[in-house]
Chain A
C-alpha cells in the first residue's frame, strides 16, 4: 500500500484522470485553445462550443437550465458574487441578511464585509447537531431581511441542511435564498427544479475537477438579478467579466458529467467505507461523532478523541492525510469555530479530526487508518495528564486551571 494515505477529500480532490485528459485537449496549438468570446473565427467558435457543452453538463447534474450557470473562479467567488451581488441589487428591500455560524469563511467573511458597508447580519447558532431549523431562521427574519445564506453540506462535519424546507419558507416570504453547495455537488441529490433556491455556489475541485473554477447558479424563473462584482468585457451575461478559461470549464463539465453518472454507486461505496471506519474506532473510549448522525454525507466524518490534542494526533497519524478541527497550526490557538458553534467544549473541539473519504479510498487504506488511529490514541493517552484525571474520576470542569 502506498503511503501517505489521502483522507482529506473535503479539502480538495485529485483531478480524475478522465477529466485531466479532457482538459489537455484545450490548451495547446494542436488543441482547442481559442478564446470562447472570439466571434470571428473557428478557434473561438470551437472553444465556445466546448464551454457550452460543459455548461450543460453542470446544469444536468443539478437539474437546472444551462443559462442559469455563471462561471467563476471557485466557490469562494461564487459566494461573494451571490451574497454581495444580491445584497447590492436588492438593497432597497432592506439591509438585513441572515446566515449560520458554521458556514464557510467565504460566506462569513463576505457577510463581515457587508457589515462594514452598512448592512446588518444575523449569525444563527445551529443546534448542537449542526442543523438549523426553518423555525429558527423564521424567528430571525425581519421586514428588511433581503438575503438568507445557508450551506448545503458542512465542510467540517458533513451535516446536510434541510435546503428544501428552508427554500419554501424563503420563497413564501420573498427573501433571496443562497446556498453554498461546494461540498454537496456529486454527494447529494440536487434538483433545482424542485428546490426553491435562488442562488447556489459550486466548486470543481471538490468533485474531481480542477482548482480555480466554479460556478454560480442564478435562477431565471423567478428571475434573480445581481450587481456584478467583477467588471470588464461583459462575459457571463454581464454578471462576471473575464475571459472564460476553456480548459478549466471543460474540466468542471467533465467532472460533473462523471458525478451524475457515478454518484449513486459512489455514495454506496463510500458509505460502506465510512461505516467500516466508524466501526473500527468505536471500541475506543471517549470517542464522539460530531454532527447529526442521520442527516449527513458519508464522505465527511468528524470525530472527537477526548483527552488527546488534535495537532499531536495529526502528527501521530503522519502517514495519513487528515485535518484537525483545531486551528492550532495557524497563529490562532482557537479551536474550530464550527465545532465551537455546536456548543462543544474547547478541549473536545481541540481533540477533533476530520476524515474525508473519496473516490480513490480503498478498504485497505481504511483498515490501515484504523490501526494507526488505535496506536496513536493509545500512545497519546498514555502521555496525557487529562486522561489520567478522567480515569481517576476527576471532573475537569472543577479543576482550577492555570490558563496562559
Chain B
C-alpha cells in the first residue's frame, strides 16, 4: 500500500519518541490499543500548573500510520490547554496524514490516547 508523504515523514523522523517519569506529578499517561489488534499507543503529556501541555512523548507499537498518528498528536498537543487538546478529532488527524479508509482506526486510536492521557491527569489531580 502506498503511504502519503506525511505518513512516511513522521514514520522516518518520528517526533517526540520517548517516555517521561510516570511518577512525576506533572506527567500523565494514556495507553490505548492492544497487542492482539496490532497497535498499542502510549502517549505521555507533561502539564504545567496552569493546565497547559508543555511537552509530550509517545511510544507506539503498530503500523506506519499508527506511528505517524501518534507522532503528529505529540506535536499538536504541545502548547494546548487540556480542554483544547480534548477537542482534537480523529478526522483532523486522518485528514492531515491523508490516511486511507483502512487506516482510520489509527487516527481513532491517537484521539483515544490523548483523551486517556487527559483523563489520567485529571484523575491524578483529583479533578
**Across-interface contacts of B60 in A (CB, < 8 A):** 383-385
Q: Which residue of the partner chain, among B35, B63, B105, contacts A386 with CB atoms under 8 Å?
A: B35
> CB distance B33 to A404 under 8 Å?
yes
- Is the beta-carbon distance between B62 and A333 smaller than 8 angstroms? no
Q: Which residues of chain A from 307 to 330 have a CB within 8 Å of any chain B CB?
A: 307-312, 315, 326, 328-330
Q: Interface SS of chain B: helix, strand, loop or mixed?
A: mixed
Contact of A333 among B3, B17, B41, B105 (CB under 8 A): B105
Binds B, one of A123-131, A137-145, A276-284, A343-351: A343-351
Q: Which residue of A lies closest to B30 (CB)?
A: A402
Closest to A346 in B: B36
Question: Chain A: which residue is nearest B32 at the CB level?
Answer: A402
Residues of B close to A309: CB separation below 8 A: 38-39, 61-63, 66
Any chain B CB within 8 A of the CB of A403?
Answer: yes
User: Using a CB-CB cutoff of 8 Å, which residues 292-317 of chain A contact chain B?
Assistant: 307-312, 315
Number of residues of chain A lying within 8 A (CB) of chain B:
30
Q: Using CB atoms, name the residue of chain A closest to B105.
A: A404
Q: Provided the pairs A328-B38, A329-B1, A401-B40 are in contact, do residues A384 and B59 lie with their beta carbons within 8 angstroms? A: yes
Q: Is A335 an interface residue (CB 8 A)?
A: yes
Report B81-114 CB contacts with A as 1/0, cut-off 8 Å.
0000000000000000000011001001100100
Q: Does A382 contact B (CB under 8 A)?
A: yes
B67 adjacent to A333 (CB under 8 Å):
no
Kindly list chain A residues whose C-beta atoms are within 8 Å of the C-beta of B101: 331
Contacting pair A326 B38 (CB below 8 A): yes
Give the chain B neighbours of A347 by CB distance below 8 A: 35-36, 38
Chain A: minimal CB distance from B39 (Å) = 7
* Beta-carbon contact of B34 and A402 below 8 Å: yes
Q: B42 at the A/B interface (Cβ < 8 Å)?
A: yes
Question: In the complex, what distance in Å separates the CA atom of A123 from the CA atom of B84?
Answer: 53
> Which residues from chain B contact A388 at a C-beta distance below 8 Å?
19, 59
Query: Roughly how many angstroms separate A312 CA and B67 CA in the complex, as a whole number?
Result: 8
Q: Give Cα A312–Cα B64 distance, bound, in whole angstroms.
A: 5
Instruction: List residues 355-390 of chain A with CB under 8 A from any CB of chain B.
Output: 382-388
Give chain B residues whose Cβ lies under 8 Å from the Cβ of A403. Answer: 33-34, 36-37
Q: How far is the CB of A75 from chain B (nearest CB, A)?
A: 25
CB-based nearest A residue for B36: A346
How many angstroms between the C-alpha atoms of A309 and B63 in the bound complex?
Answer: 6
In the assembly, what is the distance between CA of A11 and CA of B61, in Å? 27
Question: Could you tell me which B residues sit within 8 Å of A by CB distance?
Answer: 1, 3, 11, 14, 17, 19, 31-42, 59-64, 66-67, 101-102, 105, 108-109, 112, 116
The 6 A-B residue pairs with the shortest CB-CB distance, nearest first, are A347-B35, A401-B34, A346-B36, A311-B63, A385-B42, A385-B59
A residues near B, CB below 8 A? 307-312, 315, 326, 328-331, 333, 335, 345-347, 350, 382-388, 396, 401-404
- Can you list 24 A-B contacts (CB < 8 A)? A308-B61, A309-B61, A311-B63, A312-B63, A328-B38, A330-B102, A333-B37, A333-B105, A345-B35, A345-B36, A346-B36, A347-B35, A382-B17, A383-B17, A383-B67, A385-B59, A387-B61, A401-B34, A401-B36, A402-B33, A403-B36, A404-B105, A404-B109, A404-B112
